[in-house]
Structure 1
Amino acid sequence: MQLYNNLSAKERAELIEKAGQERLTISFYKYANIGNTTIFRNHLFLAWDQQEVLGRIYVAKEGINAQLSIPAENFNTFKNHLDTISFLEDVRLNIAVEHDNYAFLKLKVKVRHKIVADGLSDHTFDVTNKGIHVDAAAFNELIEDPNTVLVDMRNHYESEIGHFKNAITPDVDTFRESLDLIEADLKDHKDDKNLVMYCTGGIRCEKASAYYKHKGFKNVFQLEGGIINYVRQVEEAALENKFLGRNFVFDQRRSERISDDVISNCHQCGNPADMHTNCANEGCHLLFIQCERCREKMENCCSTPCMEINRLPVDEQKEIRKGKGNSNDIFKKGRADHLPFKKDLRNIFDTFKKTV
């Protein structure tokens, strides 16, 4: 019985090309009480491997978080299988704005402690006691209310390339950091302000809304289905799109275009740019924003030393990396010191504080 992926990314890419089938990129999540996570994980892998599902799926006692791709012709089979699982029946599926057949090249179903790394040790709040879900139309109306504080629950490198108009974008590296930061800065407005949150697909806001209600916030709202679902609703209902730039996604695409606005800059030359790249030097692999001109000039690398290493024969590169692991810069995601136009650190609540 095969319970794990046994093909390399290269082998899978060749199979996808040979098949010539359109693939859909999909994400979904659900908080639920899962008893035996290992049995559930194995059940999903066996079923989805047969359906040619590829992606990254996390299973935990608290639920499931999935980002995946599937041949379009297998979608109904996939959906029917989900509906046989009691807590996933009619679960909302966020279908990507832009599809890429190579968005995922392996099927990875992993058992984790939590489906979102929140770092919380507080187990006294009920994650199902969440904020009010609002659709795109209600969201557009709500964020125009002067009594509303709109907060982006994503990390700095996500919001840097795209966010909603007038949103507070916490300058944080992790979801956990934003939880305490937001509570501290809005503590005097738990009763008199609408706290409206959004994220990529809704999963971070789901937990954050329950957490803030637990902390005493009275009027807590979240964008249902996140940015992905918002864009689809805006297009279907011909609503005004209030999102600027690109939506960061966690697959090979890295982002998808939502509006023509370019709100960020190349971290190497400072010119307008909003496409992330990973440094081609396998010993670095830093995620940063790079324009087309710098990508060509720097050969997809973040620095001259990385470019020089990347030009070496593969065996020599491996010898240099031997026993070292990745550079710590990999965790800085656009904040490495050698990037001259990296995003400045700032107190994103300063403007808000001056207006209340």
Structure 2
Amino acid sequence: MAVLHNRVSQEELKKRLMEETEPRTTISFYQYFFIEDPQVFRDELYRNLDALKVFGRIYVANEGINAQISVPSGNFEALKAYLYSIEPLNGLRLNIAVDDDGKSFWVLKIKVREKIVADGIDDPAFDMRNKGRYVNAEEFNKLTDDPDTIVIDMRNYYEYEVGHFERAIEVPSDTFREQLPMAVEMMKDKKEKNIIMYCTGGIRCEKASAYMLHQGFRNVFHLEGGIINYANKAMELGLPNKFRGKNFVFDNRLGERISDEVIAHCHQCGEPADTHTNCANEGCHLLFIQCKKCAEKYEGCCSDECLEVKRMPEEQQKELRKGIVKDQNIFNKSRARLRPRLKSVQ
């Protein structure tokens, strides 16, 4: 029986990726549809995608599929043909990355989850089939020309920080499950207004639009294909681009530029910057924004303390890392759960 998961070290896989000469295309896609046996579906998917040299992160659940992947550009049409051969995925929209170096992923991981996006919804009456209306890039621009239209960003605060649509309202949280009830509460007196929800590729705002309708809102829309599809269509059709800054992405790139504006600031010196990085101290790995000057000064670390650790011998670093649980370690001025030694970056 074929091995249905990777057994090669991460270091070796990264090395192989960097040595590849054939260009890769980064793609994201999702679909809500019923999968009776997610494990069987997962294994079949793994066999076929591995044969096409696909790398990436895919979640499969009873409610559907959520994928961020890269494929050798020469295998793109074969990948598309395979996906379209799966009846519920026939005609599936494939979001092609806007700003892509092909180095987004270096291994294929397909995991079975309870849901393809964690939402915290436990109401049995909730139905994804009753969702908001799609709007394409042109319709989005027209609707948002009206100052009474409400635009809600359904991404995490650190995604919003580096880029968002004009007049977009932030729902300040770092988990989607927290944002859903927050959005309802924030908009409770605006149930008759036109509300457009958006996210990176469409999966979160599609579910959010269904949740808002479930909570009694009337005129709910969601941006088809999210920011990625909007940016591609705006360029293709010559439409005004209403997105400002960079689109955060959950792969090795950590962002793709949509407009030239830099709307965020370095978390260390406060200068304009929108490059996310993970602290070079492996015992920390904090996700934060760092400018080029601070990257040189701190050697990619988030603080003097982490720089000191990074300069220690590797064996000493490993000893210090023992017992540390990094969890979701993300820079946020308001969060108390960052370890005290990281507070110097706040």
TM-score, structure 2 normalization: 0.95
| Aligned partner of residue 315 in structure 1, secondary structure | helix
The residue type equivalent to 2:270 in the other structure is: G
Distance 1:130 1:9 in 2: 39
Contact 1:267 1:334 in 2 (8 A): no
| Aligned partner of residue 44 in structure 2, secondary structure | helix
* Counterpart residue number, 2:142: 141
Distance 1:217 1:164 in 2: 22
- Within-5 A mapping of 1:1-356: 1-191=2-192, 193-326=193-326, 330-335=328-333, 336=338, 338=342
Contact 1:278 1:288 in 2 (8 A): yes
Contact 1:16 1:101 in 2 (8 A): no
Distance 2:50 2:306 in 1: 38
| Aligned partner of residue 4 in structure 2, secondary structure | coil
Shift of 1:11: 2.1
Shift of 1:9: 2.8
Distance 2:31 2:256 in 1: 23
| Aligned partner of residue 160 in structure 1, secondary structure | helix
Deviations 1:328-353 (A, max 9, x none): 6x4343435756775xxxxxxxxxxx
| Aligned partner of residue 221 in structure 2, secondary structure | strand
Contact 1:59 1:112 in 2 (8 A): yes
Contact 1:302 1:339 in 2 (8 A): no
Distance 1:282 1:39 in 2: 36
Contact 2:302 2:345 in 1 (8 A): no
Unaligned runs of 5+ in 2: none
CA RMSD of aligned residues (A): 1.4
Distance 1:146 1:101 in 2: 39
Distance 2:324 2:10 in 1: 24
Shift in CA distance, 172/211, structure 1 to aligned 2, threshold 3 Å: same
Distance 1:203 1:307 in 2: 38
Shift in CA distance, 277/19, structure 1 to aligned 2, threshold 3 Å: closer
| 140-149 vs 154-163, which moves further | 140-149
Contact 1:286 1:334 in 2 (8 A): no
The residue type equivalent to 1:314 in the other structure is: E
| Aligned partner of residue 57 in structure 1, secondary structure | strand
Deviations 1:20-78 (A, max 9, x none): 00000000000000000000000000011010000000000000000000000001111
Distance 1:84 1:324 in 2: 45
The residue type equivalent to 2:225 in the other structure is: G
Task: Tell me which stretches of 4 or more aligned residues in structure 1 moved more than 6 Å.
Answer: none
Contact 1:245 1:263 in 2 (8 A): yes
The residue type equivalent to 1:166 in the other structure is: R
Shift of 1:271: 0.5
Shift in CA distance, 341/245, structure 1 to aligned 2, threshold 3 Å: farther
Contact 1:24 1:99 in 2 (8 A): yes
| Aligned partner of residue 187 in structure 1, secondary structure | coil
| Aligned partner of residue 81 in structure 1, secondary structure | helix
Distance 1:2 1:287 in 2: 33
Unaligned runs of 5+ in 1: 343-356
Q: How many pairs were matched up?
A: 339
Shift of 1:12: 2.4
Deviations 1:160-190 (A, max 9, x none): 0000011101211111111111111211111
Distance 1:281 1:122 in 2: 42
The residue type equivalent to 2:76 in the other structure is: F
Shift of 1:143: 1.0
The residue type equivalent to 2:309 in the other structure is: I
Distance 1:340 1:305 in 2: 8
The residue type equivalent to 2:260 in the other structure is: D
Shift of 1:125: 1.3
Contact 2:303 2:344 in 1 (8 A): no
Shift of 1:2: 1.2
The residue type equivalent to 1:333 in the other structure is: F
Distance 2:302 2:343 in 1: 8
Distance 1:333 1:74 in 2: 38
| Aligned partner of residue 318 in structure 1, secondary structure | helix
Contact 1:13 1:102 in 2 (8 A): no
Distance 2:293 2:167 in 1: 31
Deviations 1:246-274 (A, max 9, x none): 00000000001111111111000000000
The residue type equivalent to 1:79 in the other structure is: K
Contact 1:22 1:71 in 2 (8 A): yes
Distance 2:331 2:41 in 1: 34
Contact 1:132 1:220 in 2 (8 A): yes
| Aligned partner of residue 134 in structure 2, secondary structure | strand
